[in-house]
Structure 1
Amino acid sequence: MEGCWPLCVSYWRLSDIIDDSTLDKPHSRSISPTGIHWSDKHHKMFQGISLVTPVWTDGISTYPLDFRIYHKDSDGKTKNDHFQDMLRESAARGLNPDCVLFDSWYGSVDNLHLVRRLGWHFLTRLKKNRQVNPDKFGNKQIHEICIPNGGCVVHLKDCGMVKVFHRGDDGNGVQFWAKDILNLEEKTRQIYAVYAFKIQKYHRNLKRYCE
């Protein structure tokens, strides 16, 4: 992830981050929540428990807010269902983040609309085939448009106006980001990108100390 110290700490401070991780359980096939899930650790499908977690961070400290075990056979819920359940629960508890951060897996139109209905803002990664309209002449896949270094405002299909950014290929492909604050600067997006990395660190520590 990118590194940058906060520039506007008083405003861009508190973020809610949601992501999932697989807890390795290669010898526990009889435990009901286990299944075959993608493992970032092994870079392949692996036996384990899929945990969906939101955390709260100010860029320094990180606190877990909730968790859900993804096991569709037992409750019929997808990861996106858990995502929405936990956002609603966070709102019911009175949490009010400056921004909700999540990967492209959770960047569906329904999820983006929910964040807005809750009165929050989002920063999400977008898959390269997401449809955007940069010039009012029709939709294109986001990887087909020219995005300047400072980002540009486009219409995200079925969602509304967003500001999109890109990050050059670092060996994992070009990254595309979308934020619903249209005057967001690239340096501030970089701060959020650093914040987003906090949940990966949380998951690593969880596996290290709790598995």
Structure 2
Amino acid sequence: MYTDYLLSSTGPTTATGLSRLLEGSLSHDHITRWLSSTPLGAAEVWRQAKALIRQAEARRPAEDFAVLIVDDSVLEKAHTDANELICTHWDHSQQRYVKGLNFVTLLYQAGDLALPIAVELVRKTVSVFHPKTQKTSYQSPFTKNEYVQQMLRVAQQQVAYRYLLADSWYASAENMTLVRALGHHFIFALESSRTVALSEAARAQGQFQAVQTLVFPDTQPLRVFLRAVQEAVLVTRQVFTNQDGSQGILYLVSSDTDLDQARLTTIYQRRWKVEEYHKSLKQNASMGKAPTKTLATQTTHFLAAVLAYTKLEVLKLKCGIGHFRLKAQLYTVGLKAMYLQLRQLSA
């Protein structure tokens, strides 16, 4: 009921608003108690996604394959009181620190389906005293990469996939080694300053050079070696044009050395699904619309929004239209009802 309310709403989502929508059949206090006492977590996110994924696996052609995509995002909450959940985080999309909720998602993507199978909310609970400034700050007991590694170990028992896709934030040697140990491949973005060796002998002799200095023959990937990853990897360079007309360069690294340039970049483009997920979660599932005050109610609301996103994926597959169009149709139905009610009151 609460997730349906999140999808139906176009404004703030409050316990009072839901009670009013239900014409008082559930009281404001009843809904608030539910938000305070319902322990939603990663297990519930997986439970909601599991049936859809199993259906997709049964229908998927043999030549198609699933990928997992990992990324984090910050839901800005500038006017909410700070706590271990709502606090200062680095937002790499804005390249600045913002106050809000930071969450890490492992997204399953195959065909038209893009579903979160694990979500972790970053909590800063460990105090750190800085002698130089005489101030205390807080940090999470786990890094985002450690969250991802735990997610991948759990996902190993849940879904079959071929590649893990991620931006350069997650392109650590530890993540690469874990993905290969689990029997999968990775394609990550790579910082231009990352160093590689052109052969195993060069690596043994400590002969490394920055990725940005590599010469790519015929725009094809190069087979190189990283410092702390045992196997050879492919590195490729993709040149693209920004909206302002300037050119940018994206370096990619993959453990699958059988890929060519076109195939490697095409697979990595599937990572864009996680950006669509973040946008829909915030704009269509009312993730940032609740004025919740406590850790318990904030956690329940945020994870309920993730479950609401999963409901949108079900409707997308059923109706054949995207999340934003579905939301627009719901809004139009509500607008028509308000318009007719206004005409009746005016008559």
Instruction: Report the TM-score, using the length of structure 1 for normalisation.
Output: 0.88
Deviations 1:142-184 (A, max 9, x none): 1111123121111122113001111125347421101111110
Query: Is 1:152 equivalent to 2:222 in the alignment?
Result: yes
CA contact (8 A) 1:124 1:179 kept: yes
Q: Which moved more, 1:135-144 or 1:13-22?
A: 135-144
Letter in 2 for 1:78: T
CA contact (8 A) 1:51 1:67 kept: yes
Structure 2 match to 1:6:
none
CA distance in 2, matches of 1:186, 1:10: 23
Could you say which structure has the larger radius of gyration?
Answer: 2
CA distance in 1, matches of 2:102, 2:262: 33
Match of 1:116 among 167, 180, 184: 180
Aligned-pair CA distance for 1:134: 1.8
Bigger proportion of residues as strand: 1
Judging changes above 3 Å, is the alpha-carbon distance between structure 1 residues 125 and 41 closer, same or farther for their aligned structure 2 residues?
closer
Match of 1:83 among 148, 167, 170: 148
Judging changes above 3 Å, is the alpha-carbon distance between structure 1 residues 163 and 65 closer, same or farther for their aligned structure 2 residues?
same
- Alignment root-mean-square deviation, CA: 1.9
Judging changes above 3 Å, is the alpha-carbon distance between structure 1 residues 48 and 164 closer, same or farther for their aligned structure 2 residues?
same
Identity across the alignment (%): 25
Letter in 2 for 1:200: E
Query: Is 1:70 equivalent to 2:122 in the alignment?
Result: yes
- Structure 2 stretches lacking a partner, 5+ long: 1-60, 127-139, 289-347
Structure 1 match to 2:234:
163
CA contact (8 A) 1:154 1:164 kept: yes
Query: Is 1:202 equivalent to 2:277 in the alignment?
Result: yes
CA contact (8 A) 2:221 2:261 kept: yes
Letter in 1 for 2:238: R
Aligned-pair CA distance for 1:109: 0.5
SS in structure 1 opposite 2:85?
coil
- Structure 1 stretches lacking a partner, 5+ long: 1-8
SS in structure 2 opposite 1:190?
helix
Letter in 2 for 1:165: T
Task: Map 1:136-151; keep pairs closer than 5 Å.
Answer: 136-137=201-202, 138-148=207-217, 149-151=219-221
User: How many residues matched?
Assistant: 202
Aligned-pair CA distance for 1:17: 0.3
Task: Map 1:1-211; keep pairs closer than 5 Å.
Answer: 10-11=62-63, 13-39=65-91, 42-73=94-125, 76-93=141-158, 95-135=159-199, 136-137=201-202, 138-148=207-217, 149-159=219-229, 160-168=231-239, 170-171=241-242, 173-208=248-283, 209=285, 210-211=287-288
Instruction: Report the TM-score, using the length of structure 2 for normalisation.
Output: 0.55
Letter in 2 for 1:152: L
CA distance in 2, matches of 1:124, 1:10: 25
CA contact (8 A) 2:90 2:98 kept: yes
